[in-house]
Amino acid sequence: MLEASPPLKTKALVLFSGGQDSTVCLAWALQRYRLVETIGFDYGQRHHIELVCRMQILSRLAADFSWASGLGEDHIIDLRVLGQISETSLTSDMAIQMADNGLPNSFVPGRNLLFFTLAAALAYRRGITALIGGMCETDYSGYPDCRNDTIQSLAQSISLGMDRKYEILTPLMYLDKAATWRLGEELGGPDFTELVRQHSHSCYMGDRKQRFDWGYGCGACPACELRARGYAAWQNA
Amino acid sequence: MLEASPPLKTKALVLFSGGQDSTVCLAWALQRYRLVETIGFDYGQRHHIELVCRMQILSRLAADFSWASGLGEDHIIDLRVLGQISETSLTSDMAIQMADNGLPNSFVPGRNLLFFTLAAALAYRRGITALIGGMCETDYSGYPDCRNDTIQSLAQSISLGMDRKYEILTPLMYLDKAATWRLGEELGGPDFTELVRQHSHSCYMGDRKQRFDWGYGCGACPACELRARGYAAWQNA
């Protein structure tokens, strides 16, 4: 779909949660790499429905999009240990509120450090050195583990610690949610944005009963608000 | 016990496995910090007996050594997910042999990256920013995640990812096993080296039936050989 596609590289591993961002990231990777494996983390998140959505997205991508033919093995990692370490609103029934330091209390300290380190350990065994994730500095309430400085420092630490040169690619790092919808459209046209709208999941509350023009969710949590605003900005551009 | 003890700092978290190195590290920390918490990882290691040994060491330290009065809470983290990610001799029944790249196949890629990242996440909640581990470049068969460059790069990544300044201290980084016995003696005298000898565990095979002058083990695996050599070098110095 891209006007000028770069030549395909070999293999990549995408951190794929089933959210809007990682779904667009996955499309981005599928159009750049011959083989794209996916990894997801089950950490007892309240929006566990995400893990169901991600399976639907994977099967629909494989069935309906010719550029998704490079989809390889999917890996689900049991990371419920996170709940053991950190009680936060993502893993408990607390309301989503801002903590004293300005971070949402959904903050699991350094979560993305763990995700990428585990992904790299798995990639090591599978001969993959390109890790791809949907982190972005723009929309994530200032999560420090989504910042580019953090991610690139981590790529260096992982490369040193595994004695193999890894790269971490974050194509959405400087995009806002409207730009992510736009990128999805560029990558896969209206059929793909429709897939994102219908099947990707953002809502912190795990709500998939209420339907909005931007997809399903509670419509009130910060993730839904962000998604709604981005969708509106994209539609009205 | 140290001739010139530095003033006590506040709090530290020690990666404490129950092995010789981390036991000496723990003594080192206890003589430098007012409060020392410990963290251990249950990753289905074959030498699971390590986890039993570590509890014995903790209780004996608290009972018998006045300088261990700062011992705080102990945390055991369930990390059996490592077995899901990587099949290696530490987590399976394969023989301990060298892999093609010169790394022992006990190598879980980036294991220490994970250990420190999880420790930092726990430390975040407990108001601790000093992490201490017994990694050393000297004896560890070239594990890249034990090297100082890796560990210090990781300290930087963790500090960025959690937006809090962490330091990682590795007092054994440039010591060999003989020097570690010597450090143990300096820190806690013969009573402490006796505790290390009797209760710390190194053997990859989890053997605690056979008794040697340097402690218990199979006497044949690389970890036992290393321990035996270091003990002899210390005794004969």
Per-residue pLDDT of chain A (237 residues; tens, 9 = 90+): 444 555 678 999 999 999 999 999 999 999 999 999 999 998 877 667 888 899 999 999 999 999 999 999 999 998 888 877 765 444 444 444 444 444 455 557 889 999 999 999 999 988 999 999 999 988 656 789 999 999 999 999 999 999 999 999 999 999 999 999 999 999 999 999 999 999 999 888 888 889 999 999 999 988 899 999 999 999 998
Domain covering A9-202, topology: Rossmann fold (3.40.50)
Question: What confidence score (pLDDT) does residue A101 get?
Answer: 46
Q: What is the DSSP letter of A75?
A: E
CB contact under 8 A, A81 and B108: no
Q: Between residues A86 and B57, which one has the greater pLDDT?
A: B57
Nearest CA in chain A to B142: A163
H or E, element range at B39: strand B33-42
Least confident of B6-10, B74-78, B226-230: B6-10
Residues of B with CB under 8 A from a CB of A: 77-79, 81-82, 84-86, 103, 108-110, 112-114, 117-118, 120-122, 124-125, 144-145, 147, 149-150, 153-154, 156-158, 160-163
Q: How far is CA B159 from CA B124, B136, B162, in A?
A: 11, 22, 5
* Rounded (5°) CA angle A149-A6-A62: 90
β-sheet bridge partners, residue A77: A41
Top CATH class, B9-235? alpha beta
CB contact under 8 A, B144 and A124: no
Question: What confidence score (pLDDT) does residue A96 get?
Answer: 43
Please name the member of A79, A156, A160 whose beta carbon is closest to the beta carbon of B144. Answer: A160
Least confident of A81-90, B13-22, B49-58, B126-135: A81-90
Least confident of A85-89, B64-68, B69-73: A85-89
Q: What is the DSSP letter of B12?
A: E
**Res B92 pLDDT > 70:** no
Confidence band of B5 (pLDDT split at 50, 70, 90): low
Pairing of strands A215-216, A211-212: antiparallel
Question: What confidence score (pLDDT) does residue B50 get?
Answer: 83
**A89: Cα within 13 Å, side-chain hemisphere:** 17
**Res B161 pLDDT > 70:** yes
Question: What confidence score (pLDDT) does residue B139 get?
Answer: 64
A148 touches A170 (CB < 8 A):
yes
Please choose, from the candidates A28, A42, A108, the residue with its C-alpha nearest in 3D space to the C-alpha of residue A75: A42
Q: How far is CA B212 from CA A32, A228, B20, B23, in A?
A: 58, 68, 15, 19
A95 touches A46 (CB < 8 A):
no
Kindly state the average pLDDT of the residues B140-164.
91
Nearest CA in chain B to A124: B109
Per residue, the 3-state secondary structure of A110-142, as one string, reads CHHHHHHHHHHHHHHHHCCCEEECCCCCCCCCC
CB contact under 8 A, A121 and B144: no
H or E, element range at A12: strand A9-15
Residues of B in contact with A163 (CB under 8 A): 103, 144
Smallest CA–CA distance, residue A147 to chain B, in Å, is 8
Residues of A in contact with B156 (CB under 8 A): 153, 157
As given in the structure block, the two tokens for residue B209 are: 């039936």
CB contact under 8 A, B113 and A156: no
Question: Chain-wide mean pLDDT for chain B?
Answer: 87
Q: Between residues B137 and B160, which one has the greater pLDDT?
A: B160
Digit-coded pLDDT (tens) for B170-228: 999 999 999 999 999 999 999 999 999 999 998 888 888 899 999 999 999 888 999 99
Q: At a CB cut-off of 8 Å and minimum separation 6, what does B202 contact?
A: B19, B20, B215, B217, B223, B224, B226, B227
Residue with tokens 């590795």: B170
Domain boundaries, chain B: 9-235
CB contact under 8 A, B81 and A77: yes
**Res B98 pLDDT > 50:** no
Please name the member of A82, A103, A150 whose beta carbon is closest to the beta carbon of B157. Answer: A150
H or E, element range at B130: strand B130-132
Pairing of strands B33-42, B71-78: parallel
- The percent of residues in chain B predicted with pLDDT above 70, rounded, is 85
pTM reported for the whole predicted model: 0.89
d(CA B116, CA B79): 13
| ipTM confidence score | 0.88
Confidence band of B93 (pLDDT split at 50, 70, 90): very low
